[in-house]
Amino acid sequence: MPQMRYAILKLEQQLEFVEMPTSYMYQLTALNQRLHKEVDKLTADDVPQLPRVIAECDNLELIGTGNELIHGLDYINRLEQTFAGIQEKSYPLISLLTEIRALQAQLEQWYEEELEA
């Protein structure tokens, strides 16, 4: 069974829990920090609010039914769709999308290899 790591993300009072392969968690955290650094530079009207990674952990047990664990690839796919939908005119959004899509491609390959194993 592959080693997984968990990111806890927060937007206002809402928490999200994302499960990632351990070897890719650093990239998710770095991407999140980069997006937060750059999102304020976007001039489009429909810039999304992004949750911020507030913690990482090796083990996570969610109690109750109020929270769900988000599959890492599902989270990255949703992030890519969100940023692809931004109608940016000034800031080079393509660089942010390239970073998102690079991690997306790596995760797709990782999960494909895991299914074959």
Domain that holds residue 87: 4-116
Tally of domains within the chain? 1
Give residue 87's pLDDT: 87
Strand partners, 52: 10
Q: State pLDDT tens for residues 53-111.
A: 999 999 999 998 788 999 999 999 999 999 999 988 777 788 899 999 999 999 999 99
Give residue 1's pLDDT: 65
Q: State pLDDT tens for residues 24-48.
A: 999 999 999 999 998 888 888 888 8
CA distance 80 to 78: 5
pTM: 0.92
Nearest to 93 by CA among 33, 45, 35, 54: 35
DSSP 8-state code for residue 47: P
